[in-house]
Amino acid sequence: MSDELIELEEEEHTSQLTAPVFRRILTLLKPHWKWVLGFFITIALTSGLDAYFTYLNKQIVDTGITLGDKARVMHLATIYGVFQILQAGFVFTFIYLAGVLGERVQYDLRKMLFNHLQDLSLSYYAQNAVGRLIARVTSDTGRVADLLTWGVVDTTWAAMNIITSVTFMAIINWRLALIVFTIIPIMLYIAVQFRKKILVEYRVSRRTNSKITGAFNENFQGVRVVKALLREDENTREFQGLTTQMYKASYRAAWLSALFLPTVQIIAALALGVIVGYGGTQITLGLMTIGGIQAFVSYLTFMMWPIQDLARVYAEMQHSIASAERIFKLADTPPEVHDRDGAIPAQTLMGGIEFDHVDFYYEDRKPVLQDFTLKVKPGEMIALVGPTGGGKSTIVNLLCRFYEPRNGVIRINGRDYMDYTLASIHSRIGIVLQTPHLFSGSVRDNIRYGRLDAGDDEIIEAAKIAGAHDFIVTLEKGYDQNVGEGGNLLSVGQKQLISLARAVLARPELFIMDEATSSVDTLTEALIQRGMEALMQGRTSFVIAHRLSTIRRANRILVIEDGRIAEQGTHAELLKLRGHYYRLYTQQFRHELETQYGLAEAVGAELKEDAPEALAAD
């Protein structure tokens, strides 16, 4: 829902068309210029024929009926029929060409944006809400494609229609055509004003609508509180404020729309009145025919459609241009982290890792990591502990080269890691996130994500190592079970087990884990611990640790506070210091054991007796 609000907010923006943006928008059509030309011609022909049909009707009256010439009528009718079939062909062509082209432009834009997003660095994602990026790829591309196709179709058709109509009118009687010609700008002006007003109301109603949905959502989710606090009446009253606002905006938009066409029509009718009065005189003078009057009536009656189309395209164009500018801006953002010139692939990550006086700060320049120095031997397990915001995640992000140091050097195998290609580093890292992220699809697909060419037996093997196999086979469809959007059909613990299996399959040389803080049930917790252990075997690993068992297992513990290493050493060394670590540890100790021995286990399950032993053995 917040995505919807972002979208609405962005839609409000308008931009004026400038030459560079215009040229750039046009380049989107360049690869498909044949299609553009095709629909341009067919739409022009269609609209020319539309006006010509009215002229033919006039001819039937003036040269056929009035003169009693049946052959002439048949002749004109034949032309009419042939052109009609021809026009159907044109209509087919332009709908198809313009429509498919619109889809194609959208496809191109989305592809371009998506591919570019893959290359952008994590820092870009940190600064831009996902909702915005989604709006860029979905709605902005749609709006630009619409402008380039249906916008062009409508404008071309409308412009051609007006031009040919006026031309035919001038052929019939130039004086009367002049009258029509002068009212067209007036009609257009009024139409545009209407469109703009309607658009404003329409946006208000959409924004209100999104608030209404929010209110519904909140009231359903918080229904227990609502009932307990007897808020029903007041909630309804508040909600009525929203629906009243909605009513006002959408009612106004609706009746403005209803007023729009009649207003344009009435202006046309005023012209018609003048024409009939004036044209009548002309007929009596022999300057005008009955068919001519009829043609003028037709032309004027149908003039409102092209006017309406022009007004709509014009009113919406500014928003589409703003969309285009946002798209271009995203496309022009260079990735911050990229391969250096002459980068070579790293052969291994198992040669020792070194942070050498590394500084890091984000765009706001507030230091996150300061003068950070650390040497890690191959196969070592490092536990990072400390308060949220202390810089633990930044260390890991730098290590993965999601970010690069602002100052100082990070060395792998004794060499600045910026000399290596990104792909060669990333393909040797296995990572398990705090909030495990899965993709829609089967369990199998999600594990295979670790190594795309892995066979089914390897996937099962990895799942067994990670301790995920046992729960997977209990799923209804086993490895083919759909995990739902973002893995939502599984529990957090299960997601974590699958992401462990995924990391196992990747056979990483460097393993990074951000432990989940939220509690999972004891059995799953034990499985996760076992899986982690298996993964860390013989690998260098960094763990942002929350669990005591993990912390105690580390070769070295770093207490990270305010972007620095506050304390480091083994568990025993640090406890003796009675400093930061001691405080963190005792707090966590009580907390964890209270949860672990909490009532659920004590009352419910058999684990109650085993638990203390498990700890004692540790």
Closer residue to other proteins (CB): 249 or 321: 249
Whole-number minimum distance, CB 154 to other proteins, in Å?
15
* Closest distance to other proteins from the beta carbon of 227 (Å): 7
For every residue of 529-590, which 3-state class applies, written as one string? HHHHHHHHCCCEEEEECCCHHHHHHCCEEEEEECCEEEEEECHHHHHHHCCHHHHHHHHHHH
Rounded-to-integer distance, Cα 146 and Cα 224, Å:
45
Which residue of 30, 34, 224, 365 would you call a contact of other proteins, by CB under 8 A? Answer: 224
Phi first, then psi: what are they for 431, rounded to 5°? -135, 140
Of 40, 96, 328, 362, which lies in the binding site for other proteins, with binding defined by CB under 8 A?
96
Other beta carbons within 10 angstroms of residue 199's beta carbon come to: 18
Q: Pick the binder of other proteins from 422, 447, 500, 501 (CB under 8 A).
A: 422
The one among 8, 21, 41, 73 contacting other proteins by CB under 8 A: 73
How far apart CA 296 and CA 168 sit, in angstroms, is: 9
* Contact flag: residue 17 with other proteins (CB under 8 A): no
- In the complex with other proteins, which residue's Cβ is closer, 2 or 407? 2
Opening angle at CA 479, ends 474 and 481, nearest 5: 80
Among 104, 197, 564, 580, the residue binding other proteins under the rule CB under 8 A is 104
Rounded CA-CA distance 121/111 in Å is 18
Residues 42-71, interacting with other proteins (CB under 8 A): 57, 60-61, 64-66, 68-70
Alpha helices in 285-362 (DSSP H): 290-302, 304-332
486 DSSP 8-state letter = G
Considering the complex, state which of residue 33 and residue 589 has its C-beta at the smaller distance from other proteins: 589
Closer of 267 and 460 to other proteins (Cβ): 267
Rounded to an integer, what distance in angstroms lies between the CA atom of residue 569 and that of residue 585? 14
Pairwise CA distance, residues 500 & 505, whole Å: 9
Give the max Cα distance, the chain. 118
Map the footprint of other proteins across residues 432-471, applying CB under 8 A.
433, 437, 439-440, 449-450, 452
38 binds other proteins (CB under 8 A): no
Count of residues of this chain found to bind other proteins when the rule CB under 8 A is applied: 161
Residues 585-614 that bind other proteins (CB under 8 A): 586-587, 589-591, 593-595, 597-605, 608, 611-612
Helix (H, G, I), strand (E, B) or coil at 32: helix
Tell whether residue 431 is a contact of other proteins (CB under 8 A).
Answer: yes
Of the residues 17, 26, 37, 74, which one makes contact with other proteins according to CB under 8 A: 74
- Distances in whole angstroms, Cα of residue 422 to Cα of each of 122, 224, 419, 498, 525: 13, 51, 9, 25, 33
- Please give the C-alpha separations between residue 372 and each of 44, 357, 359, 379, 403, in angstroms, as whole numbers: 68, 5, 7, 21, 15
Please pick, from the candidates 163, 183, 212, 331, the single residue that binds other proteins as defined by CB under 8 A: 212
DSSP secondary structure string for all residues of 413-475: TTEEGGGB-HHHHHTTEEEE-SS----SSBHHHHHHTT-TT--HHHHHHHHHHHT-HHHHHHS
- Residue 138 or 333: the one with the smaller Cβ distance to other proteins is 138
**Contact criterion met (CB below 8 Å) for 102 and 146:** yes
12 binds other proteins (CB under 8 A): no
Task: Compute the least distance from the CB of residue 108 to other proteins, in Å.
Answer: 9
The residue among 301 and 318 lying less far from other proteins, judged by its C-beta, is 301
Binding pattern for the stretch 122-141 against other proteins, x by CB under 8 A and - elsewhere: x--x----x--xx--xx---
Q: Tell me the window of 95-103, 172-180, 343-351, 364-372 that interacts with other proteins (CB under 8 A).
A: 95-103
* 33 touches other proteins by CB under 8 A: no
Q: Is 259 in the site for other proteins (CB under 8 A)?
A: yes
CB of 69 to other proteins, least distance (A): 8
Site for other proteins in 502-561 (CB under 8 A): 502, 506, 512, 519
Give the helix/strand (H/E) hosting 150.
none
* Closest by Cα among 339, 198, 373, 183 to 269: 183
The one among 117, 162, 322, 516 contacting other proteins by CB under 8 A: 117
The answer to whether residue 31 forms part of the interface with other proteins (CB under 8 A) is no
Binding mask 322-351 for other proteins (x = CB under 8 A): ------------------------------
CA distances from residue 377 to 428, 507, 555 in whole angstroms, order as listed:
17, 19, 10
